[in-house]
């Protein structure tokens, strides 16, 4: 039972009802008057569905064994007319469910292919590579990463992998996998390149970011705890691309970097530790009668 005074239980009941409504909605469009006949199968479907809370199906939780598999009805298998009609209704329900699922898949494929352009890339073509290295890193290398170049290259395709992927001839210093989906490639037209070199964080060996200098320090209030942060200047980006990083993280990732007396700076941060503030008392004065 559910009550309005316990919203958690009421919400769980609403979820169950919504799932069962979605199951029965598949039959209402073609059989608006006969949906009650499939209620037992809707109950059986729910009881044999895997539940994340109990890590098994309700059927297995009650009976201690997995639910039995349902076989297709064979005419003449049973002599009881009621059982025969029930099994035929079940098979018809399965047929309609399969039909609606296939139709839903066709609709999703049609919607996805509306703006999808055909792949016009062949082995040996020169293509531009679309990568976003700032989304694959833990620390940004520039102030506005979204304004960085979207495409790099051109690079030559040397092999087709599967139906929609190609292997590119990347520089030997590249630290990324050379196989990319065709959606990340753009055929190069002409001889002019966009960004001939890959980002520095995707090349070479060792750490992707090199710490150059500590420009400042601040205390950032996070809940009831003040977290010390450092204003770090990276090798790529200069002082304009300096970012605030937790002091603990910097010490863990760069144990050999000597911070020295740089961590004692306080004037570079815009956030100040919260101090005690006095009470401000306002007094309302009565107006003099004219």
Same domain, 103 and 138: no
pTM: 0.38
For residue 264, what pLDDT band results from cuts at 50, 70 and 90?
Answer: very low
Same domain as 95, residue 16: yes
Q: Are 201 and 190 in contact (CB under 8 A)?
A: no
Name the domain boundary from 62, 84, 112. Answer: 112
Q: Is the peptide bond before 154 cis (omega within 30 degrees of 0)?
A: yes
202 vs 104, higher pLDDT: 104
How is 182-243 classified by DSSP, letter by letter?
GGGEEE--SS--S-SS--GGGBSSS-S--EEEEEEEEEEEETTEEEEEEEEEETTTEEEEEE
**Residue 275 pLDDT > 50, yes or no?**
no
Is the confidence at residue 261, as pLDDT, over 60? Answer: no
Is residue 17 located within the same domain as residue 107?
yes
Give the per-residue pLDDT at 198.
60
277, two tokens: 């503030």
Rounded to whole angstroms, how far apart are CA atoms 138 and 140?
A: 7
Report the C-alpha gap between 219 and 116 in whole angstroms: 49
Is residue 182 within 8 A of residue 165, CB to CB? The reply is yes
Return the pLDDT at 267.
44
Tell me, yes or no, whether 31 and 96 share the same domain: yes
**d(Cα 173, Cα 123) in Å, to the nearest integer?**
22
Is residue 118 situated within a structural domain?
no
Co-location of 22 and 108 in the same domain: yes
Our separate counts of H helices and E strands in the chain read 5, 8
Given 157, 185, 202, which residue is the final one in a domain? 202
Q: Residue 145 belongs to what domain range?
A: 126-202
- What pLDDT, on a 0 to 100 scale, did the predictor assign at position 67? 84
Instruction: Please tell me whether residues 153 and 134 are part of one structural domain.
Output: yes
| Same domain (yes/no): 31, 103 | yes
Are 23 and 97 members of one domain? yes
Q: Which pLDDT does position 10 carry in this prediction?
A: 59
107 and 190: one domain?
no
24 in helix, strand or coil? helix
Contact indicator for 259, 245 with CB cutoff of 8 Å: no
Percent of the chain with pLDDT over 90: 0
Q: Is residue 119 part of a domain?
A: no
Q: Is the CB of residue 57 less than 8 Å from the CB of residue 48?
A: yes
Q: Are residues 63 and 140 in the same domain?
A: no
Between CA 278 and CA 186 the distance in angstroms is 62
| Contacts of residue 1, Cβ cutoff 8 Å, sequence gap at least 6 | none
Domain's final residue, options 179, 202, 225: 202
Mean pLDDT of the chain, nearest integer: 73
Residue 137 pLDDT more than 60? Answer: no
pLDDT tens-digit profile of 156-186?
Answer: 899 888 888 899 888 877 777 888 888 888 8
Q: Does residue 243 have a pLDDT over 60? A: yes
Please state the domain count of the chain: 3
Question: Three-state DSSP class for 159?
Answer: strand
For residues 258 and 21, which has the higher predicted lDDT (pLDDT)? 21
Same structural domain, 57 and 131: no
């Amino acid at each position: 039972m559910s009550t309005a005074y316990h919203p958690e239980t009421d919400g769980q009941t609403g979820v169950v009802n919504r799932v069962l409504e979605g199951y029965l909605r598949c039959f209402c469009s073609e059989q608006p008057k006969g949906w009650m006949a499939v209620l037992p199968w809707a109950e059986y479907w729910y009881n044999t569905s895997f539940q994340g809370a109990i890590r098994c199906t309700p059927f297995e939780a009650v009976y201690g064994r997995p639910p039995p598999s349902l076989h297709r009805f064979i005419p003449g298998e049973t002599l009881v007319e009621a059982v025969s009609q029930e099994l035929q209704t079940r098979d018809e329900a399965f047929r309609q469910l399969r039909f609606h699922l296939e139709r839903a898949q066709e609709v999703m494929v049609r919607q996805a292919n509306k703006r999808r352009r055909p792949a016009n890339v062949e082995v040996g073509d020169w293509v531009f590579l679309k990568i976003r290295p700032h989304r694959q890193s833990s620390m940004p290398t520039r102030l506005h990463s979204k304004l960085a170049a979207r495409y790099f290259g051109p690079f030559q395709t040397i092999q087709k992998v599967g139906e929609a992927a190609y292997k590119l001839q990347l520089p030997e210093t590249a630290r990324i996998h050379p196989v990319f989906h065709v959606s990340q490639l753009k055929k190069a037209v002409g001889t002019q390149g966009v960004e001939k070199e890959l980002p520095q964080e995707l090349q070479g060996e060792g750490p992707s970011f090199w710490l150059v200098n500590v420009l400042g320090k601040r205390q950032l209030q996070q809940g009831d705890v003040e977290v010390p942060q450092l204003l770090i200047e990276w090798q790529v980006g200069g002082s304009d691309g300096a970012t605030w990083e937790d002091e603990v993280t910097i010490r863990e990732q760069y144990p050999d970097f000597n911070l020295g007396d740089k961590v004692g700076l306080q004037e570079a941060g815009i956030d100040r530790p919260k101090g005690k503030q006095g009470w401000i008392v306002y007094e309302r004065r009565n107006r003099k009668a004219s």
